[in-house]
Structures are given as C-alpha cells and as structure tokens.
C-alpha cells in the first residue's frame, strides 16, 4: 500500500496557500507597469501599494519603510551592505559583528564586505546557538559599526533575545540588520513589533510562509539612509531598481494579511514537535540540538549518531518523506552544517544531523508514520554498516 508523501521541509519552502493562488490569479489580468502613469499603470500601482501596506502592517511599520525584493538573499544583501556603506559614510569603524551560525547569504555578504576592507568579528554563541549577551556587551564597547544576525536560526530554530540585543547595539550607536526570514510568520506578532524593537533593516521572504518563490521584502527604518547596491532605475524609493515582480508581491501581500491565523497554526505545532521529539529520543543513538531553549515551534534538528545525515535524507525520500540536512541554499554539497560547526560541534558529528521542519498542513499521522519509517530505516542502515 502506497502512502501519500509527507513534507517536513517547511523551513526550506512552504507550499503556496490556496488563497494566495486565488489572489495571484486575479492579478494575472493586470497588464500595466506600476511605473506607468496611464490607467493600466495606475491600476498595477494600486495592487503594488496595497501589498506594501499589508506587509507594513504585519511588521508595525509604515509603507514607506518597505522595499520589495526577489527574496531573503537579496534583502539581506541590500540591508547588510546598505548599513555597512552608511556606516562608512558616517565615518564609523569598518567593523561588523556576526555570529558564526548565520545563513549562507549573510555569510557570503559579509565576505564580500571583508573584501571591501571591513573586518568581520564573530559574536560568541553558546552550544544552543544563543548569543552570549555578556560577551556581546564587551564587543560593543570596541565600537563596531554594524551588527547582523538572525532572529531565529534556520537550522536549529533558536530564537534570539531581540529587544535586549537591539537596545544594547543602539546604546553603542551600532547599526543593526536582522535576518527574520526563518522567524516571520511563525512567532507571535508582538515579537515582531518594529516600533517596540527598532531594528534598522530587516529581511523577510515570501516562499517561507506560503507566498510564491522569488519575492521578499526589506524593512528599512525611517531615517536610515541606505542606497541601492545596483543601478538602473528609481523603483522602490530608489533602493531597489527594476520593474517589480507584481504577481509575487501581490502573493506576499495576501499572505501577510493572513498572518494572525498562520501564527496561531504554527504555535499549535509545539504539540506535534514535542510528540515527534519524544519519539526520536526513544530511538537508539539520537539527540536533539537546542532542545531546551526558545525555538521556532516547527523546527527539530536531530543528530543520528554514527550515521551520515545525507544518507538518511535520501533514504527517507525513497520512503516518501521530505526532510533536509541543512539550509536549502547549501544543500547538495557533502559538507558539515556551518551552523552546527559554528556551535563548536566537530565536523564529523555535524554531518550526522537532519532537520525536520513542520508546517500548517502537518498532521499527527505524519509524525507517527515518520517515526515508524525512521525506526526501520535506522535499523537497516546500521545493519549494513555493521
């Protein structure tokens, strides 16, 4: 008897929501360019600005603070590079603070800035990925110009104490970029109130929360004067040139208008996560990273001792279960997770991990079947290895 496939890789991409599809289908009839002044252009512009307002409201921001992009990677590039160049114009030290557990697009952007003469200083994190506040306070006294980090980690789910960190940074006149791609849509709305927690730039991505691929946004706090990193037009307040992806933006606007319901659904996944972790720990040779700290409600990163994570991912795929061994942006490469290595875990052990990420369509039955398949798969692989 064949079973329907089970999808447990929501942190890589979430399925496009039905309501989002409907709204995007309506937008397919729009023929104007949002930059054109005629009726068709004005109609397209209205769709664009309605979506901008929806995204802004979801972040407790103003529409003028929202820049639409192609996704999290571009948003992180514009935000981090923009703040670095702003700091340079203001005569600040060319020094950037960055945890060693960031997404590849943040790490890659930091390396680009290193080539431009900036120094990159690692922020100390503990074995669960939490930023060491005492160590950070000491680093802030050295007057770095920019700090960048993720609100919640994309692989292990650890949530940072954003208010404390941002307040500390601003007390030392440090500009802050936040990668909120993994957190947005999964955490209670009051945690993402940018009036209460005034992050300078913050990135989100559509395909992580039920909007289509290829669309994201960057929130730039009012008064933060970042400039475009590419040339060619004055769209998006001159900060992101090029004709906007109206279809994707409309989808992103629609999903952010549904955020309250989505957040409730994600918070309810804590029960499924707990049930799954109990089942995992009942198996031989399994441990869970960051299990006892505040985490995303849908994320489980498990170490299967003496087994290669990529082999287990492939074996589960054959059984109809989709999981991952790390960030999708670095998958396909046989290398240890940089996040786990950044936690101080040895490379050999870091290659033994698998990430399971649940979503709004996940069911209790998926948990039970995955645990059953895991039990038999682990036994089979270990028997082969022995």
SS3 track for 166-222? HHHHHHCCCEEEEECCCCCCCCCHHHHCCCCCCCCEEEEEHHHCCCCCCCEEEEECC
User: Which residues of the chain form CATH 3.90.1150.10?
Assistant: 6-15+263-385
| Cα–Cα distance measured from residue 129 to residue 159, given in angstroms and rounded to the nearest whole number | 9
Was domain 18-257 assigned CATH 3.90.1640.20?
no
Question: Among 205, 309, 202, 194, which residue's Cα sits nearest to residue 249?
Answer: 205
Contact of 325 with 310, CB cutoff 8 Å: yes
Q: What are phi and psi of 218, to 5 degrees?
A: -125, 125
Question: Among 348, 361, 309, 299, which residue's Cα sits nearest to residue 331?
Answer: 309
User: Which residues of the chain form CATH 3.40.640.10?
Assistant: 18-257
Beta strands 95-98; 66-69: pairing state: unpaired
pLDDT at 197: 84
pTM, two decimal places: 0.94
How far apart, in Å, are the Cα atoms of 64 and each of 56, 194, 219?
Answer: 8, 14, 9
Hey, what's the torsion of the CAs at 349, 355, 356, 360, to 10 degrees? 160
pLDDT at 17: 97
Exactly one of 27, 140, 303, 329 is catalytic; which is it? 329
pLDDT at 382: 84
Beta partners for residue 178, in sequence order:
149, 202
CATH class, 6-15+263-385 region = alpha beta
pLDDT at 329: 56
pLDDT at 332: 52
The neighbour count for residue 217, using CB atoms within 10 Å, is: 32
Note the residue count of the chain: 386
The low-confidence residues of the chain, meaning pLDDT below 70, are 1, 326-334
Q: Quick check: is 329 catalytic?
A: yes
Scanning the structure block, which residue is given the tokens 């999290």? Answer: 72
pLDDT at 334: 63
Contact of 228 with 69, CB cutoff 8 Å: no
Vertex 275 angle, CA 271 and 280, to 5°: 145
pLDDT at 188: 87
Question: Among 65, 10, 13, which residue's Cα sits nearest to residue 215?
Answer: 13
Q: Is 322 exposed, middle or buried (0-12, 13-18, 19+ CB in 10 A)?
A: middle
């Amino acid at each position: 008897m064949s079973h329907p496939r089970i999808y447990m890789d929501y942190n890589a991409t979430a399925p496009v929501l039905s309501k989002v599809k409907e709204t995007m289908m309506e937008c397919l009839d729009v023929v104007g360019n949002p930059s054109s002044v005629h009726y068709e252009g004005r109609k397209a512009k209205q769709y664009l600005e309605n979506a901008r307002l929806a995204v802004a409201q979801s972040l407790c921001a103003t529409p003028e603070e929202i820049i639409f992009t192609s996704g999290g990677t571009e948003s992180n590039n514009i935000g981090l590079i923009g703040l670095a160049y702003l700091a340079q114009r203001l005569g600040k030290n060319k020094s950037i603070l960055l945890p060693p557990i960031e997404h590849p697009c943040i790490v890659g952007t930091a390396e680009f800035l290193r080539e431009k003469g900036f120094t990159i200083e690692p922020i100390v994190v503990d074995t669960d990925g939490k930023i060491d506040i005492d160590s950070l306070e000491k680093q802030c006294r050295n007057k770095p110009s920019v700090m960048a980090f993720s609100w919640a980690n994309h692989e292990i789910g650890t949530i940072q104490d954003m208010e404390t960190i941002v307040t500390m940074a601003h007390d030392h006149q440090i500009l802050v970029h936040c990668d909120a791609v993994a957190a947005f849509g999964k955490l209670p709305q009051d945690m993402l109130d940018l009036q209460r927690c005034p992050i300078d730039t913050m990135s989100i991505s559509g395909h992580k929360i039920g909007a289509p691929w290829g669309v994201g946004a960057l929130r730039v706090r009012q008064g933060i004067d970042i400039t475009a990193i590419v040339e060619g037009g004055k769209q998006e307040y001159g900060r992101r040139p090029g004709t906007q992806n109206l279809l994707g933006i409309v989808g992103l606007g629609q999903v952010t208008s549904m955020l309250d319901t989505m957040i409730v659904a994600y918070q309810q996944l804590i029960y499924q996560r707990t049930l799954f972790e109990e089942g995992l720990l009942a198996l031989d040779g399994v441990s869970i990273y960051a299990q006892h700290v505040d985490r995303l409600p849908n994320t489980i990163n498990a170490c299967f001792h003496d087994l290669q994570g990529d082999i287990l991912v492939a074996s589960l795929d054959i059984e109809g279960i989709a999981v991952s061994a790390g960030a999708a942006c670095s998958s396909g490469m046989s290398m240890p997770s940089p996040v786990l290595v950044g936690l101080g875990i040895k490379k050999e052990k870091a290659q033994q991990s698998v990430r399971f990420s649940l979503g709004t369509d996940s069911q209790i039955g998926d948990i039970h079947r995955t645990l059953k398949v895991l039990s038999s798969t682990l036994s089979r692989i270990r028997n082969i290895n022995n």
